[in-house]
Structure 1
Amino acid sequence: MRFKASIQNIHTFTKLTTSLNSLGPLAWVKLSDQQVCFTIIPEQGTQVWAVLQIDTIFDTYTVQSAAGNVINLEVPLTSLTRALKSALNATSAQIRLTKKDNVPLLALTIVTTTSSNHAAFPTGTRNDEDGMENFDNTFGSGNRETIVTQEIPVRVLAPDTVAGLHEPQTREPDVHIMLPPLMQLKSVSDRFTKLALVGAKNGSTATRTRLEMAANMHGCLKMSIKTDAMSISSVWTDLTNPDLDPSHVSGGDIGLAEHPSTRMKQLGSADGRSEEGWATVRIDGRDWGKVMSVGRLGGRVIACFCHEHALILYVFLPSDTAGEESVLTYYVSSYSA
Structure 2
Amino acid sequence: MRFKTSVRNIQTFSKLTASLSSLGKVAWLRLDDDTVRFTIIPETGTQVWASLSIDSIFEDYTIQSAAPNNTINLELPLPPLHRALKSAINASSASIRLTKKDGMPILSLTIITNTVSSGNSAHGFLNAAAGNQDPFGENGAFREESLDAGREREAVVTQDIPVRVLTADSVEGIHEPRVREPDAHIILPSLIQLKAISDRFTKLAMSTTTAAKAGSGNSSVPKLELAGNMHGSLKLSISTDALNIESVWTGLTNPELDPGQVADGEEGLEDHPSTKLRARGPDAWAKVRIDGRDWGRVLSVGRLGGRVIACFADEHALILYVYLANYEDGADESVLTYYISSFSA
Scaled by the length of structure 2, the TM-score of the pair is 0.88
CA contact (8 A) 2:105 2:163 kept: yes
Alignment of 1:205-244 (within 5 A): 208-244=221-257
2:312 alignment partner, SS class: strand
The corresponding residue for 2:301 is 294
CA distance in 2, matches of 1:208, 1:93: 41
Gaps of 5+ in 2: 121-148
The corresponding residue for 2:269 is 256
Amino acid at match of 1:66: A
CA distance in 2, matches of 1:66, 1:26: 25
CA distance in 2, matches of 1:208, 1:58: 40
Larger Rg: 2
Matched, 1:39 2:39: yes
The corresponding residue for 1:109 is 110
The corresponding residue for 1:148 is 157
CA contact (8 A) 1:12 1:297 kept: yes
The corresponding residue for 2:144 is none
CA distance in 1, matches of 2:174, 2:209: 38
Deviation at 1:315, TM superposition (A): 0.2
1:23 alignment partner, SS class: coil
The corresponding residue for 2:129 is none
Matched, 1:307 2:311: no
Alignment of 1:1-337 (within 5 A): 1-68=1-68, 69-117=70-118, 142-203=151-212, 208-269=221-282, 274=283, 277-321=284-328, 322-337=330-345
Deviation at 1:55, TM superposition (A): 0.3
Identify the structure with the greater strand proportion: 1
Deviation at 1:206, TM superposition (A): 5.4
CA distance in 2, matches of 1:62, 1:278: 48
CA contact (8 A) 2:118 2:150 kept: no
Aligned alpha-carbon RMSD (Å): 1.6
Identify the structure with the greater helix proportion: 2
The corresponding residue for 2:137 is none
CA distance in 2, matches of 1:106, 1:320: 24
Deviation at 1:118, TM superposition (A): 6.9
1:204-263 superposed Cα distances (whole Å, 9 cap, x missing partner): 675652000000000000000011111100000000000001111110000001100011
CA distance in 1, matches of 2:318, 2:7: 33
CA distance in 1, matches of 2:219, 2:262: 40
Distance 1:248 1:331, change over 3 A: same
CA contact (8 A) 2:46 2:294 kept: yes
CA distance in 1, matches of 2:194, 2:14: 22
Amino acid at match of 1:303: A
CA distance in 1, matches of 2:99, 2:335: 28
1:28-51 superposed Cα distances (whole Å, 9 cap, x missing partner): 000000000000000000000000
2:178 alignment partner, SS class: coil
Deviation at 1:318, TM superposition (A): 1.0
